[in-house]
Chain A
Amino acid sequence: MKFWKIFKNGLFDENPTFRIVIGMCPTLAITNAAINGLVMGLATAFVLLTTEIIISLVKKLIPENVRIPSYVLIIATMVTTVDYFLKAFLPGIASALSLFIPLIVVNCIILGRAEAFASRNSVVDSIADALGMGLGFTGALLLLSSIREILGSGTIFGFEVLGNWYPRMSIMTMPAGAFISLGILIGLVNLVSRKGVK
């Protein structure tokens, strides 16, 4: 029961992108195509899951004063692993995401959850948190990148969905399009969630 509650918290109530608004660097930079958003989200989710598991396991062994460098070291190790595996098995996507994969190291979602959650909770709860937050982030990136790809290129995952009659809004594939669509999405999410409260 608690597991689902924590999971749902990351997925919706404290969605990193739409509610807490953290991890904006990859969110804005790579969401110009749905596949990039999906892979970036999953890569981040994987790093989040492995680091939260490791940190919740070793939390008692790590002295208080060196916990941040220790977390960064663990995160960096997992990120480098993901980076190499992507380069080896998904080279096309790895080159599209280029330096944003290594930059997962400094993604504040990961260090934030390590510090705020994994270092204080059990392994099972940390897994729930990592899955919730990771999938919440993936979902948000996928939504944002799908909207941008459809409006900007008329395709989704590279497949054409809008015919030639549709004038491509190329601004949507550029950084400005990321800000515009993210702003509108956050606004919509707030609108929906407020309705629930009242």
Chain B
Amino acid sequence: MKKSILTLAILGVISALLLSFVYQVTTPIIAERQEEDKKVIILTVLPESDNYKRVEKNGIVLYEGNKEGEVAMIASGPGFGGTIELIVGANPFQRKLYAVKVLSHSETPGLGSHITGEEFAKNFIDKPFGDYQVVKRTAVDPLEVEAITGATVSSEMVVNIVKNAMNQMLVAYGFDPISVTSAPITTGATDASTGASVTTGATDTTTSATDTSTSATDTTTSATDTATGATDTATSATVTDTTSTATVTDTASSATVTTGATDAATGATVTTGATETTGVTDTNTSATASTTTDTDTGATSVGGEG
């Protein structure tokens, strides 16, 4: 018995020593690699910059290239199989998109995974900002994105994220966001809330309000957010209502921002400076947030960053 304990203890100590050595040797290399990778990726979407600096605007992390106007940002949103993370390089001053690169995704291998391919990436190279549409044929208009065969949903989801990113950039630099339509979210994933919250840099402060959503129609495509005396800045995204009394959590599973969403909130006071220009799609699973009483007591609705 004593011998067993001793053997295991000695083995454990040797193993710990060895591993701490390996850890010390490799960790700086791993960190350096990741930093380098990130740098390389950021610079690939900024055509003329050879360096960048990290800035934060409206709570969004942006990477400003040393060439005037070139900005990159990491954007994410729901895909068909899980969250898709992209890096978008653009010039919000000239309203020009430089390139889009997929950082991570869990789309179907062999189908949706082609969003990482060059063929698909071409759709976003040196394009104007605008309301991109996915088409199932050869793209003729610059604002048309050719869907990947067998992966229309994945293509549409990427386009949604790109559109949101463009608007977030525009707002971050003080421009008006462009009006965009978004494809409804279709996920193959079981968890609808995956990747639900896409940032809005806006903080949606509901001051001691009772958000009684009576007969609100929350549809993916058309809805209106009428908050009494309030305008809600959701620059391009999904707002996750984190209510303190938390009866209803609006899982806006889509990054879909539709012009004019309906969310009749009676007596809700939402104080935030801006207009919900692009709208929010509140996808309540049942799509009707009727009888539910959503009491936001001094709650702050925060759109987490995507």
Contacts and interface: CB of A to CB of B under 8 A. Distances in A.
B108 interface: yes
Interface string B36-67: 01000000000000000000000000000000
B273 interface: no
B109 A174 contact: yes
B15 A74 contact: yes
Contacts of B23: 84
B111 interface: yes
Q: Which secondary structure characterizes the binding site on chain B?
A: helix
B22 A80 contact: yes
A73 B109 contact: no
A171 B150 CA distance: 13
A172 B111 CA distance: 12
Interface in A68-96: 69-70, 73-74, 76-77, 80-81, 84-85, 87-89, 91
B4 A88 contact: no
Interface in A142-192: 152-153, 168, 170-174
Contact of A73 (B11, B25, B26): B11
Interface in A44-72: 61-63, 65-66, 69-70
Nearest to A86: B26
A118 to B, nearest CB: 15
B8 interface: yes
Interface of A: 32, 61-63, 65-66, 69-70, 73-74, 76-77, 80-81, 84-85, 87-89, 91, 152-153, 168, 170-174
Interface of B: 3-4, 7-8, 11-12, 15, 18-19, 22-23, 25-27, 29-30, 33-34, 37, 108-111, 150
25 contacts: A62-B7, A63-B4, A63-B7, A66-B4, A69-B8, A80-B22, A81-B18, A81-B19, A84-B25, A84-B26, A84-B27, A84-B30, A85-B22, A87-B26, A88-B30, A88-B33, A152-B110, A153-B110, A168-B110, A170-B108, A170-B109, A170-B110, A171-B110, A173-B110, A174-B108
